[in-house]
Every structure is written in structure tokens, then in C-alpha cells.
Amino acid sequence: MAPESKKRKRSQSQAGPTPAVGKMDTSKPTAIFQPQGGRPWTVSVALPGSIISNAQTHDLKSSLAGQIARALAVYCVDEVVIFDDGQGRSKPHGRRDVQAKASSTNGTTGTTGTTGTTAAPHHAHANSGYTGETDPGHFLTHLLSYLETPPYLRKHLFPIHANLRTAGTLPSLDMPHHLRPDERCAYREGVTVDDDLPVASRRATDAPKRKKKKNVHPTIVDAGLRQKILVHVPIPPRTRVTLRFPGHALPPSSASFSPASGDAPLVAEAVSPDAPRQEGGYYWGYSVRRASSLSAVFTECGFDGGYDLSFGTSERGQPLDLLRAPATGADLPPFSHMLIVIGGVAGLEAALEADDDLQALALPLSSPERLFDHWVNVCPGQGSRTIRAEEALWIALATLRRLVVAAHAR
């Protein structure tokens, strides 16, 4: 039998049985994100890295990071901040800590510029191996960054590292920017690669020549397609880039691409990572930021004007059902940038005590509620004596989801 017929039979058997006429096929997900126009507002979450120390093994630590990433993705969180609350248990380097070496680029989200590039900065732990025991904040940041990155970019941005040795067991986030080769979208994530295009292809896609700019060559971007993408601005290699196809000239399906046909590389524009959200209304994943303390969560905020609506969570807070805006009586006032802060095992009081900047303000250790617009209890009448941080995250996001949508629907 010919190899082509064998391949055809194999693909048909893997596809599964064909649903009967008139019967709904529920074997594949149908809840595909549908943008509803540009979205200027954002939702951020802050968590202490010390929650990783509460997990006893590497598998449990990785599973915990996966649960958090799933919550962020499901409820369309735009930013996650991992802060130090002084409760992380650091242990000396052991044999496991030197199982792998990483290069200076470890995939942790770095600085974002107006051109849409995201460079991974040199990190203190880039060459020091496993950090699940020595620096739980870095471990959580590393795994959250890895999971947010589209799968086709991970091999470029994340070298082999001991933190990721069980990455294959982590859950898939399948967010809107995790596009497959046959999916078409006006935006796409890519990574710049070395210039390996033939000269003829480069000439065919060069921008119109201008005086005094004869030696400017386009940057080549791998965006998970069979065709390479050209961007007519210089960008260093191994840099993550958000692409927009001009005039919504969407890339063709990979199924229609034929190397023998001589298809030229596509041309796209590098834009801000916020462009898919602000212009198209897409949920485009979350950014990851580390903060050295609870106060740094606020003072190092990257949004203009900072967070204009903040929530601190505690079992000693006000039930969320009683939340009302003073002026309008509505559940929530319209906001630009909302922040939800979840405490660790010892609560946000411990983070306040470990923060030297807040201590200099003589803020009472028993009054962390003064840092927030709202001090809320997301699960009044809880049946268990304790609610874990990852559980509080799911509950808080689920409870606030309706209020967030309603605040911007008016």
C-alpha cells in the first residue's frame, strides 16, 4: 500500500467517529473567545511567591503554578504580580539545584516597548539551576511566564532549566494568542530569529528604497507559520514580538502554503503588546512582574496613573456581596486598572510587617486594609478553617467577574 494511503487512513482513524446528522458534536470545545471591540481597562492580580514554599515537592509546586495560571487565563487577567511577603522558606542549594544550566535568557517576562518587543532580561537565577526551594518567587514567575508563552515560541525563549523539567505535565492554557498554524487572526505573537532568508526573498519583500537608508534589512520573525514574517525595523534576535498584519491582511492558512510555489515571506508590523486588547478587544494573555515587597506592587505599577481600584482579600474583610459604589449605588464604579491582592499563609498582615517602606509610614500591623479601596472576604461562612491562596484566587475572580463586566457595560 502506498505511504499516502496509509497516512490518509491513519488521519481518518485519529479524527474519531463522525457525529450523526442532527446531533451536536461535543467532542471539541466551542467556547472560543469573541472580541467585543477595544478594551482600555485591565485586571491585575498580586500573589506572594511564598505560596510555593507551602508545597512540599517539585511536582506539587509545578501543579500549584499550573492551577494559578489556569485561573488567570480563564478569567482574562491581564497582569500578575509576584511579590515578596517575607514568608518564603529559603533552603541551601542541593544536588537538584544544579541539574540544569540556563543561558542569560530564561523566558521571564521583561520590559515591553512601544514597538511590541518583549526582551527577557538577564536574571539573577539564569545560571543557578532549580529555584523552587531557594527562591519560590522566581520559580512561580518562571512557570507562569512559560505557560503564558505560545507553545511554538517556547523553544526559542526558554532554554532547558531544572524548574521546567516536568513542564510536559503542566496544563494547557489555550488562550486566544496561542494560535495554531491554520488559525487566522489580525494579530499574532512571534520571536525574532537569525537572518537566514535567501537574498532573492529579501529583495522581493524589501520596503521601498529611501535615500540614506540603503543598508536597512528587515527583521525575520517566527510566528508559528510555515512562512517567515518580515518586520521592517531592526530588532535583536530571540526577542518576543507582537505582530499586526496591515489592513487586516491575514496570513493564509498553512494548509494552503506550498514551498514549491515560491510563496514570499509575509510582511507585518511590530506593535505594542497591548494593541490586541486596546484595538481589537482580544484577551491577549497576562504579563508577569516581580515586586520586592507589598508596597512595590503599587509603586512600580506600569500603568499610567497606577491602579485606580484595589481589593485586599482577608477572612476579616467585608463580605463582597455588600460592596456598593458610594456615588451611584452600583456594585462597582467604572475603572481603568483594577488590582486584586491575595495573601499567603499568614495573610497580608505578614506582608505589611515585612515591608520596610510601609513600616516607615508607621502603619499599624493589624491594619493592612488601609492600603486598599476595598477590604473584602470572598467566601463568608467558609466550611474549612483555611482557604488556600490558589483557592482564594479562583473564588475572588469568579465572584468579581460579574461585577467587572457590569461596571463597563453601563
* Amino acid sitting at position 387: I
Within 13 Å of residue 21, how many CA atoms lie on the same side as its CB?
A: 0
Cβ burial of 17 (10 Å; 0-12, 13-18, 19+) is exposed
Q: How far apart are CA 30 and CA 190, in angstroms?
A: 26
Please give the pLDDT value at position 203: 44
Q: How far apart are CA 161 and CA 119, in angstroms?
A: 18
Radius of gyration of the chain (CA): 24
For cell 537572518, name the residue: 195
- Calculate the alpha carbon distances from 54 to 139, 293, 313 in Å: 13, 19, 19
Q: How far apart are CA 159 and CA 100, in angstroms?
A: 10
Please give the pLDDT value at position 150: 97
- Calculate the alpha carbon distances from 56 to 53, 89, 91, 93 in Å: 7, 11, 12, 16
Q: How far apart are CA 1 and CA 8, in angstroms?
A: 11
Length in residues, the chain: 410
Angle at 311 between CA 334 and CA 78, to 5 degrees: 70
Q: How far apart are CA 47 and CA 312, in angstroms?
A: 11
Angle at 282 between CA 394 and CA 289, to 5 degrees: 55
Reading the block at residue 36, the C-alpha cell is 467585543
Partner residues linked to 319 by β-bridges: 377
CA–chain centroid gap for 320, Å, is 27
Cβ burial of 103 (10 Å; 0-12, 13-18, 19+) is middle
**CB distance 69 to 143 below 8 Å:** yes
Q: How far apart are CA 147 and CA 77, in angstroms?
A: 14
Along the 410 residues of the chain, how does pLDDT read in single tens digits? Answer: 555 555 444 444 455 556 566 676 776 666 677 778 889 999 999 999 999 999 999 999 999 999 999 999 999 999 999 999 988 765 544 433 333 333 333 334 443 444 555 554 434 454 458 999 999 999 999 999 999 999 999 999 999 999 999 999 999 999 999 999 988 889 999 999 986 554 444 444 444 444 455 556 789 999 999 888 999 999 999 999 999 998 655 665 554 444 444 466 789 999 999 999 999 999 999 999 999 999 999 999 999 999 999 999 998 888 877 776 555 445 778 899 999 999 998 889 999 999 999 988 888 877 889 999 999 998 988 899 889 999 999 999 998 988 888 887 76
Helix/strand/coil (H/E/C) assignment for every residue in 47-101: EEHHHHHHCCCHHHHHHHHHHHHHHHHHCCCCEEEEECCCCCCCCCCCHHHHCCC
Q: How far apart are CA 400 and CA 73, in angstroms?
A: 15
- Max Cα-Cα span within the chain: 81
